[in-house]
Structure 1
Amino acid sequence: MKAFKNTEFAHIREATGYSIKEVARLLGKSERTIYRWENGESVPEIDLLRELTSIYNVRSGQHPESDFNFRFIDLFAGIGGLRKAFESIGGKCVFTSEWDSACRKTYQANYECDHPVNGDIRDVDLENMPPYDVLVAGFPCQPFSIAGVSKKNSLGRPHGFHDATQGTLFFDVAQMIEYHRPKAFLLENVKNLVSHDKGNTFKVIMRTLQEELGYHVDFRVIDAKHYVPQHRERIFIVGFREDVGFDFKDMKIPDTGPRLGSILHQEDGTEAPEPPYTEIPAGRVADKYTLSDRLWEYLQNYAEKHRAKGNGFGYGLFGPEDVARTLSARYYKDGSEILIRQEGKNPRRLTPRECARLMGFDKPGQSMFEIPVSDTQAYKQFGNSVAVPVVEAVAAHMLPFIFKVMRTVKDSDQVEVLFERVEVYV
């Protein structure tokens, strides 16, 4: 990689959107040093220049695929939504765990794994896991006990998260964090995690991560409607081993997002047909996704019954200019939460391909996400997944601070990241 001249460093810094003060704080240098680099009075340190270049490439959507910035593990991996997002910022996945065999089938069809896809996280051998820098997990929400520490002490029994979270899957995540001390983590869950069990669950989680494991933690609830055409609120919990200044409030979220028309099949012949979702030769959505008269009548009667009682239950009917409800894992049952209007006939479900687009697994200009399972399994998998563009935005916001904590924390037992090649696209 050739050295940058002064104006090139200034260009990269300005292109990232950072001020002199911000980039000095992120790189751990004085503002005077940054000014000297920009004015050509001295040469930037190569590793720091690589960091800034990588941040620039990620923000411009042109990160090279031939290098990696850090290693991460993917827990409760599902079909790889978190992995896809963290690979987009130069992460290399070195360990995967997912208990559902159908999800593992989809995962392995879409990602090149130089490691086995492990099953139940509770069967993982902590001692033999590979070195990693970042842990990501979309762990299931379960009720925790609120253990009285003084009482446990008096009885000589374990306390803290070893007791309060015992038997929950969060316990296994906390154990990994305690054992390996990763430099950073991202945990994802439903919005209701904050209020689950009258707030006790979230209190235990935050107490465990901050007080017992000693991480600097912030969280934010983000609605995916800013990135994909569906309302989908999820909580993201980010932790760093050192105080690197990460603040979720600094993450900029788009004011407006796309509409359903951007993910629906184009039935005018401009989209190549994809059986069994669309038909040859016209590319029309297959008839099997249109609701039967009996099911459509049932859904209308059900909605009317609840409307009469003053309830809001019922189907959701949408067109190309709308933003849909949340896609759920139960979508395979009747598709009622997201039905697409059709002129002259009953509404239809989304196809699995449209679900892949709705969740951000499929993007223009990229190869299509492989769906090697039945429609029923596909609906469950996409309904349980993360909205990939949301996690990509969170990961991109984390990247400068991942670099910072990796510079701050040097683990002798972990292999340091080697930058094989960093290209700048201007």
Structure 2
Amino acid sequence: MPANLPSEEEMAQAQPLELLMQARSRFTQREIAEHVCKDIKTVRRWEKGETPCPAMLEPALRDLLRTPADGIMTSHHRFRFIDLFAGIGGIRMGFGAYGGECVFTSEWNDFSKKTYIENYGDRHPFVGDIVPFPAEDVPDHDVLLAGFPCQPFSIAGVSKKNSLGRPHGFECTTQGTLFFDVARIIATKRPKAFVLENVKNLLSHDKGNTFDVILRTLRDELKYDVHYRIIDGQHFTPQHRERIIIVGFREKTGFSWSDLRAPAEGPRLASIMHKTDGSEPALPWDADRFFDHDKWAVQPKYTLTPNLWAYLQIYAEKHRAAGNGFGFGMVYPDSVTRTLSARYYKDGSEILVWQGKNKRPRRLTPRECARLMGFPDTFRIPVSDTQAYRQFGNSVVVPVMREVARIMAPHVQVLIEQERTGVAQQPLFA
């Protein structure tokens, strides 16, 4: 345990209000509010004793208190960011935890927008489709965040221009793709850094042409110092989920992925499952939607119907006989799951929870899916189960993004301070 932090024993014995007051000795009301996804007025009422600090916030407050004094939310880690292809704000949550302020959001899906605004509010510009939006109208920012969709690029036109000796740039290379909109905003606003997140297969997409165009655009055309790494979410949550993270800085800062702290062995499924022993927290915004607190049991609607369970077993047996690995994925309390997908609402086959030898398995509930992605229980789910499954299946593992934010924040701050003082930066290209 780093210095200046309460011990695990002290935190385990502390009541919610005690944890809040310990946090207030190191963090502002705004910083605590951002970490637990509440507004400042609510934190102020807890602190004054006007309303009780909810017991279900204990894990989030303990997580905050485990942070070293020079880490999360300290005053020298302040920056502004924009959130593109935002989904339900998983990347935002990671960077907000390290003192980032979101000043602009873009998300075209109305259901995702509903969940996003429910949890973060809409106090800053929020646009749907980023494609027609003028880059000049995007607010100034220090960091650009984007979980952009993966699309192929047309290489033929570029090759032809090369052969004719005609000049071309990223506008020609990436035009017609959503990455183009990321690139044009970077080119216009010149943020100090960016973070792009995508599926692992981006590396091999279109025989590697897609990733090659992205790197050439970011490095050669836009002149950023670019680093990328595939990170598996199972180091942070009980889910095997490999994603590529691409980060770039306007100038060289000494950034290195070697600073990433990923536990060798992460948590297991039991840590995110509803507790049937009487200790499952009663979340007022969930009520008994996912879990019956009278019976201390997961709602029966998440158990597979006899017909669906029979179909999945026949399907799995058919593919086993053919010698391939298609089939359902049964999980247990000590499991690490397969990757949660946006199609999970269809049959739940990639992650089926074992309920006993003579019982049919069940799907994870949307609340368990939120936990599997690293969202706190304070995160509200205002949409249908079908939409919630889609949203969490398309989201990011929040603790992964929080760790990326942790190692990036000091380098962003260096560039902010250099710009403020007028100190010349190290040129990226001589």
Shorter-chain TM-score: what band?
Answer: 0.7 to 0.9
After superposition, residues 154-303 of structure 1 pair within 5 angstroms as: 159-273=168-282, 274-303=287-316
- Structure 1 residues 341 and 351: alpha-carbon distance in aligned structure 2, compared to 1, 3 A threshold: same
1:403 pairs with 2:413: yes
In 2, Cα distance between equivalents of 1:337 and 1:150: 42
Q: Give the counterpart letter for 1:347 in structure 2.
A: P
In 2, Cα distance between equivalents of 1:272 and 1:148: 58
Question: What is the deviation of 1:112?
Answer: 3.1
| Residue among 356, 367, 384 paired with 2:394 | 384
- 8 Å Cα contact 2:236/2:399 also seen in 1: yes
Q: What's 2:329 paired with?
A: 316
Q: CA-atom RMSD, angstroms?
A: 2.3
In 2, Cα distance between equivalents of 1:260 and 1:329: 19
Identical columns (%) = 61
Q: Give the counterpart letter for 1:91 in structure 2.
A: G
Residues 150-200 of structure 1, C-alpha deviations (whole Å, 9 max, x = no match) = 742676976221111110000000000000000000000000000000000
Residues 351-381 of structure 1, C-alpha deviations (whole Å, 9 max, x = no match) = 000001000012xxxx521000000000000
In 2, Cα distance between equivalents of 1:272 and 1:233: 30
Name the SS of the counterpart of 1:348 in structure 2: coil
The 10-residue stretch of structure 1 (387-396 or 158-167) with the greater mean CA deviation from structure 2: 158-167
Q: What's 1:360 paired with?
A: 374
In 2, Cα distance between equivalents of 1:249 and 1:66: 24
Q: What's 1:97 paired with?
A: 106
Give unpaired runs (5+ residues) of structure 2: 5-64, 423-430
Q: Give the counterpart letter for 1:369 in structure 2.
A: F
Question: What is the deviation of 1:407?
Answer: 2.4
| Residue among 365, 381, 402 paired with 1:351 | 365
The 10-residue stretch of structure 1 (150-159 or 289-298) with the greater mean CA deviation from structure 2: 150-159
TM-score normalised by length of structure 2:
0.78
Name the SS of the counterpart of 2:318 in structure 1: helix
Q: What's 1:76 paired with?
A: 85
After superposition, residues 3-18 of structure 1 pair within 5 angstroms as: none
Q: Give the counterpart letter for 1:89 in structure 2.
A: Y
Q: Give the counterpart letter for 1:228 in structure 2.
A: T
Name the SS of the counterpart of 2:361 in structure 1: strand
Question: What is the deviation of 1:272?
Answer: 3.8
- 8 Å Cα contact 2:73/2:98 also seen in 1: no
Residues 8-55 of structure 1, C-alpha deviations (whole Å, 9 max, x = no match) = xxx89xxxxxxxxxxxxxxxxxxxxxxxxxxxxxxxxxxxxxxxxxxx
- Structure 1 residues 92 and 378: alpha-carbon distance in aligned structure 2, compared to 1, 3 A threshold: same
- Structure 1 residues 320 and 306: alpha-carbon distance in aligned structure 2, compared to 1, 3 A threshold: same
| Residue among 330, 343, 346 paired with 2:343 | 330
The 10-residue stretch of structure 1 (394-403 or 113-122) with the greater mean CA deviation from structure 2: 113-122
Give unpaired runs (5+ residues) of structure 1: 1-10, 13-55, 413-426
Q: What's 1:114 paired with?
A: 123
- 8 Å Cα contact 1:160/1:212 also seen in 2: yes
- Structure 1 residues 93 and 68: alpha-carbon distance in aligned structure 2, compared to 1, 3 A threshold: farther
In 1, Cα distance between equivalents of 2:373 and 2:421: 36
- 8 Å Cα contact 2:253/2:411 also seen in 1: yes
- 8 Å Cα contact 1:147/1:160 also seen in 2: no
- 8 Å Cα contact 2:73/2:97 also seen in 1: no
- Structure 1 residues 286 and 57: alpha-carbon distance in aligned structure 2, compared to 1, 3 A threshold: closer
In 1, Cα distance between equivalents of 2:308 and 2:414: 55
Aligned structure 1 segments of 4 or more residues deviating by more than 6 angstroms? 65-68, 153-158
Name the SS of the counterpart of 1:145 in structure 2: coil
In 2, Cα distance between equivalents of 1:396 and 1:91: 11
Name the SS of the counterpart of 1:408 in structure 2: helix
- Structure 1 residues 375 and 195: alpha-carbon distance in aligned structure 2, compared to 1, 3 A threshold: same
Name the SS of the counterpart of 2:339 in structure 1: coil
Question: What is the deviation of 1:87?
Answer: 0.3
Q: Give the counterpart letter for 2:359 in structure 1.
A: K
In 2, Cα distance between equivalents of 1:231 and 1:256: 12
- Structure 1 residues 220 and 191: alpha-carbon distance in aligned structure 2, compared to 1, 3 A threshold: same
TM-score normalised by length of structure 1:
0.79
In 2, Cα distance between equivalents of 1:228 and 1:400: 25
Q: What's 2:136 paired with?
A: 127
- 8 Å Cα contact 1:59/1:396 also seen in 2: no
Name the SS of the counterpart of 1:275 in structure 2: coil
Question: What is the deviation of 1:267?
Answer: 1.2
